[in-house]
Amino acid sequence: MLNNIQIAAAVAVSFLCTAFLRLLPFLFFRKDKQIPPFIQYLGKVLSSAIMAVLVIYCLRNTGTGSFQSGVAQIAAVLFTAVIHLWKKNTYLSITAGTVFYMMLVHLLLA
């Protein structure tokens, strides 16, 4: 069991590592320098690629559970996609999709 000092040390190390990693790009890419084209490309495509990986990860076990569970998952993904294409708002689509999925789970699997 961890005592309070060990917990505080773990939180401090986590904070320092996170702060350093967030500060790192500002050290390498200053305002007076041009950002390399490869880094600009990564900035454009990486968020979409990460979202695709998360969707695949979330749906990897869709066929192994109950039928209602699979229907709820696929319906929530389609609902989220439609909301996102309609409003072009990531936060809205993720929030609406999550609420929709939770409602389906409670209605279908109750």
What DSSP string describes the chain?
Answer: ---HHHHHHHHHHHHHHHHHHHHHHHHHS-TTSPPPHHHHHHHHHHHHHHHHHHHHHHTTTGGGS-HHHHHHHHHHHHHHHHHHHHH--HHHHHHHHHHHHHHHHHHH--
To which residue do tokens 């939180």 refer?
Answer: 11
Residue 105 has pLDDT above 80, yes or no: yes
Is residue 41 domain-shared with residue 85, that is, in the same domain? yes
Is residue 103 domain-shared with residue 76, that is, in the same domain? yes
Total of domains in the chain: 2
Is residue 69 domain-shared with residue 95, that is, in the same domain? yes
Is residue 21 domain-shared with residue 44, that is, in the same domain? no
pLDDT the model gives residue 110: 65
Is residue 27 domain-shared with residue 41, that is, in the same domain? no
Q: Are 29 and 39 in contact (CB under 8 A)?
A: yes
Residue 63 has pLDDT above 80, yes or no: no
Residue 62 has pLDDT above 80, yes or no: no
Residue 91 has pLDDT above 90, yes or no: yes
Is residue 52 domain-shared with residue 25, that is, in the same domain? no
Is residue 65 domain-shared with residue 88, that is, in the same domain? yes
Is residue 18 domain-shared with residue 48, that is, in the same domain? no
| Residue-number span of the structural domain to which 25 is assigned | 1-33
pLDDT the model gives residue 65: 67
Residue 92 has pLDDT above 70, yes or no: yes
Is residue 50 domain-shared with residue 90, that is, in the same domain? yes
Give, in degrees to the nearest 5, the angle at Cα 100 between 95 and 103.
125
pLDDT the model gives residue 61: 79
